[in-house]
A = this chain, B = another copy of it.
Amino acid sequence: MQKLLNDPADVVVEALAGMAAAHPDDLLVDMEQRVVSRRGGPVRGKVGLVSGGGSGHEPLHAGYVGPGMLDAACCGEVFTSPVPDQFVTALRTADGGAGVLHVVKNYTGDVLNAEMAAELLATEDGPQVEIVVTDDDVAVQDSLYTAGRRGVGGTVLLEKVVGAAAEEGRDLSGCAELARDVNARTRSMGVALGPCTVPAAGVPTFELEEGQMELGVGIHGEPGRRRVPLGTAREIAAALVEPVVADLGLRRGDAVVTLLNGMGGTPLLELYLMFNEVRAVLDAAGVTVARSLVGNYITSLEMAGCSVTLLRADDEVVRLWDAPVATPGLRWGA
């Protein structure tokens, strides 16, 4: 395994120690509970915004802690949901008295641990907590009889938009409503051109012959829905964007916030090239790109590949998008 590591079992704590050292003025890291929060502590009277999940998706989530986005995040083992105690600590840390919105990506582990955390807090007279589950991955069918769709790139956009609303003073139910609305108008689709290696496992998550790709992957190094011949960037853009546009029901004249996300091991050069193709597909559909992000925002360790996320935009979404944000992973206007 070709990785920068000491003991693979310590990768998360050691990375958190590095994160604390790299952002001493901005972040506070509870090494015991692996909770990252804003150095200033919770903002009194502001709804707290919390997320968390397995590690290996950096900068998500801890890298999105800061003014304009999250108040706290907790970090599980690589690709493993945090345990309830971690969520409890993050939720308590983020509470400024106005309640906490807990953004949970829709994975069985994340949802179950978040539910247990909510149960624990309810018995402990903790802060008021609203859970919002993100499930934007169109590769997976939405169904009541399954685990449902995965939460992927839409989570980043949601954390930015809802973070701005919380900063503006929106109350807990208003933030929760906005979050559910953003989730409802966001869809994603991803592709892998190569696997990644979980440090504790030491071997790649799958094998892929040259000239093949995994279409419809999530962010856990897992294989996708289908293994198909590697297409050109143009073909891949169509394969990613078209299902998203269809599922969102986008029409000529609609506008979107676009995230062209790298999975971690694909160079920015290729991501910009892909963005050019994505934009061309959207152009052809008459959909305007109101705002965009191109880069590694929700990764799967060093997986090669990318995902496309579209958020149907209106003036309000764009306004909240443009609001200042100052986190290690996303920063503007501050």
User: Which A-B residue pairs are the 6 nearest by beta carbons?
Assistant: A18-B276, A18-B272, A58-B268, A18-B275, A2-B193, A15-B272
Copies in the complex: 2
Q: What is the interface of chain A, defined by CB distance below 8 A to chain B?
A: 1-6, 11-12, 14-19, 21-22, 55-56, 58-59, 63, 78, 193-194, 196, 208, 210, 213, 230, 232-234, 236, 260, 264-277, 279, 289, 292-294, 296, 299, 301-302, 304-306, 326, 331-334
Give the residue name and chain of the B residue nearest to A235 (CB).
B6
Q: A332: which B residues are within 8 A, CB to CB?
A: 326, 331, 334
Bound-complex Cα distance A264 to B262 (A):
11
Of B19, B230, B276, which one neighbours A17 at CB under 8 angstroms? B276
A22 CB, nearest partner CB in chain B, Å = 5
Give the residue name and chain of the B residue nearest to A292 (CB).
B22
Give the residue name and chain of the B residue nearest to A197 (CB).
B267
Of B268, B294, B296, which one neighbours A268 at CB under 8 angstroms? B296
Contact of A266 with B4 at beta-carbon distance under 8 Å, contacts A18-B272, A18-B276 already known: yes
Apart from A2-B213, A22-B275, A265-B265, list 17 A-B contacts with CB within 8 A: A3-B266, A5-B232, A5-B270, A6-B273, A11-B273, A14-B273, A14-B277, A15-B269, A18-B272, A18-B274, A18-B294, A22-B272, A22-B292, A22-B293, A22-B294, A58-B269, A267-B301
Whether A21 pairs with B275 at a CB distance below 8 angstroms is yes
| Interface-centre pick from A193, A267, A331 (highest chain B CB count, 10 A) | A267
Bound-complex Cα distance A331 to B330 (A):
9
Of B2, B55, B210, B233, which one neighbours A6 at CB under 8 angstroms? B233
Give the residue name and chain of the B residue nearest to A5 (CB).
B233
Bound-complex Cα distance A21 to B234 (A):
16
Whether B18 pairs with A273 at a CB distance below 8 angstroms is yes
Whether B267 pairs with A56 at a CB distance below 8 angstroms is yes
Bound-complex Cα distance A177 to B299 (A):
41
A176 CB, nearest partner CB in chain B, Å = 30
Whether B269 pairs with A55 at a CB distance below 8 angstroms is yes
Q: A5: which B residues are within 8 A, CB to CB?
A: 232-233, 270, 273
Whether B236 pairs with A271 at a CB distance below 8 angstroms is no
